[in-house]
Structure 1
Amino acid sequence: MMRALVIDDEPLARAGVLARLRHCPDIDVLAELGDGPAALAGIRESRPDLVFLDVDMPGLNGLDVLAALPASERPLAVLLTAYEQFAVQAFALDVVDYLLKPVEDERFAEAVARARQAWRFRHQATPSPMVDPRPQAGYLSRFTVRYGSRLVFVPADDVEWIDAAGDYATLHVAGREYLVRTPLHRLIEALDPAVFARVHRSAIVRVDRVAELRTLGNRDALLRLRDGTPLRASRTYIDALLAALEKQRSTA
């Protein structure tokens, strides 16, 4: 169960969030807070998994509250604000979602779903040795990336392949590239293994985008995707890839 704080200087806004969260049995609201300094102290004291956080508050704004916390102590955050201009700063702090007031029920539900997904992703990054590190449900369904000055939400279903870029990864989507702040080894654990397969230490492909596979003498293989992109599949991953291709063929 996720432990949450609701932080907003407007009592009506807090009440609206709390009313919606009553329909989320997997979220335990620890407290509601009304200003920035109280928010910072409350986060440090209760160490919540998630905060619903107003940006424009007296004393200390919501972005400053997050920035004052070390990344390792920063909870997942859904920002609440009437102003769009904070979106880029919000992205830099890796917030889960950014809701414009007045918040619509559908957008709120979407933000909660993304928080659940991010919470699972965060917990599976450091699993117990006796726990399967792959999420059992709710695989990553979309990515939040910065494209120019905008935040762009990229459905996982649209991603054709992914390659490593150091501690980042590049999504390849219909001729466009999007950089995400997640290393490849964490992405493959969060993506549905029935849909995506790792083919190399530096590449993941969407299985149904593979148009051709040609094996090489050293058990590596050359892949050609539907758009013509050539990729090399390492012998380390070839057996799992062949199994995924066969499973896809048999269920088609």
Structure 2
Amino acid sequence: MMRALVVDDEPLARAGVLARLRQCPDIDVVAEYGDGPAALAGIRDARPDLVFLDVEMPGLNGLGVLAALPAAERPLAVLLTAHEQFAVQAFALDVVDYLLKPVEDERFADAVARARQAWRFRCGAPEAPGPQAGYLSRFTVRYGSRLVFVDVEEVEWIDAAGDYATLHAGGREYLVRMALHRLVESLDPAAFARVHRSAIVRLDRVAELRTLGNRDAMLRLRDGTPLRASRTYIDALLAALERQRTAG
């Protein structure tokens, strides 16, 4: 079980994170703090696996808290902020995810999924997707009168289809009876990322990313498919692409 701290100087924001984490049976919140110096002391004392950390706080901001810790003692971190300009510094500290306030439930779930994957890697669990890591390795879908088995590695992107989702793999489409927000929790975040409320993409299929004026972005996949990435997901997408680049 992951041991977590929650740090935010806004009591309502802190309560919102705590309420969401209470729905995660594999995460044990061991403490909460409302300022940077207390958070730094708490991290040094409790040695948590994961910290949900507000960036802007009195005394010492969240980035300062992480920077004050040696890399070997730094917990996995999900940063929380109402502003976007800290993203580059956050990625330099190798944070798991970067959430803009007000945080949407689906983005919070994405961040928790990434934290779980990163924690497994730190603990020496298998990194590759599959049953051992708790992620899907293939889909079983109905295609006409047949049952078709689609390996996860073949899926290039996925889009929402009402309460279901459509897999795009090898030029074909397969309907999966699972909502997109549930599906993203079943996929390895090292290989897949949500880019829009209605779309998930396989990271190694992204050939090009072009930013737009409103902080949205246009993606081009290797087969030429264009996909829009919304500003809600763009920072996490950039971080995931960078992690994949450095890992490769």
2:11 corresponding residue in structure 1: 11
Deviations 1:153-191 (A, max 9, x none): 97346269xxxxxxxxxxxx739xx6537445xxxxxxx
Superposition pairs for residues 39-58 of structure 1, below 5 Å? 39-58=39-58
Which of 122, 125, 136 is 2:133 aligned to?
A: 136
Pair 1:96 & 2:96 matched: yes
Q: Quick one: which amino acid aligns to residue 133 of structure 2?
A: Q
Q: What percent of counterpart residues are identical? A: 74
Distance (Å, rounded) in 2 between the aligned partners of 1:39 and 1:114: 22
- What TM-score, normalized by structure 2, do the two folds share? 0.57
Contact 2:117-2:190 within 8 A present in 1 as well: no
Superposition pairs for residues 224-235 of structure 1, below 5 Å? none
Q: Show structure 2 runs of 5+ residues with no match.
A: 136-186, 194-199, 208-220, 224-240
Change (3 A) 1:156 1:140: farther
Distance (Å, rounded) in 2 between the aligned partners of 1:144 and 1:63: 27
Q: How far is the alpha carbon of 1:137 from its aligned partner?
A: 2.0
1:79 corresponding residue in structure 2: 79
Distance (Å, rounded) in 2 between the aligned partners of 1:36 and 1:143: 33
Change (3 A) 1:6 1:144: farther
2:69 corresponding residue in structure 1: 69
Superposition pairs for residues 161-180 of structure 1, below 5 Å? 174=222, 179-180=242-243
Superposition pairs for residues 105-184 of structure 1, below 5 Å? 105-124=105-124, 135-138=132-135, 140-142=188-190, 155-156=202-203, 158=205, 174=222, 179-180=242-243, 182-184=246-248
Q: Show structure 1 runs of 5+ residues with no match.
A: 146-152, 161-172, 185-252
Contact 2:192-2:203 within 8 A present in 1 as well: no
Contact 2:120-2:127 within 8 A present in 1 as well: no
Q: How far is the alpha carbon of 1:143 from its aligned partner?
A: 6.0
Distance (Å, rounded) in 2 between the aligned partners of 1:39 and 1:96: 18
Computed over aligned residues only, the root mean square deviation of the Cα atoms, in angstroms, reads 2.9
Distance (Å, rounded) in 2 between the aligned partners of 1:109 and 1:102: 14
Q: How far is the alpha carbon of 1:55 from its aligned partner?
A: 0.2
1:226 corresponding residue in structure 2: none
Deviations 1:210-235 (A, max 9, x none): xxxxxxxxxxxxxxxxxxxxxxxxxx
1:22 corresponding residue in structure 2: 22
The DSSP-based 3-state class of the residue aligned with 2:113 is: helix
2:59 corresponding residue in structure 1: 59
Distance (Å, rounded) in 1 between the aligned partners of 2:93 and 2:45: 20
Deviations 1:40-91 (A, max 9, x none): 0000000000000000000000001001111111100010000000000000
Higher Cα radius of gyration: 1
Paired positions, count: 159
Distance (Å, rounded) in 2 between the aligned partners of 1:107 and 1:133: 22
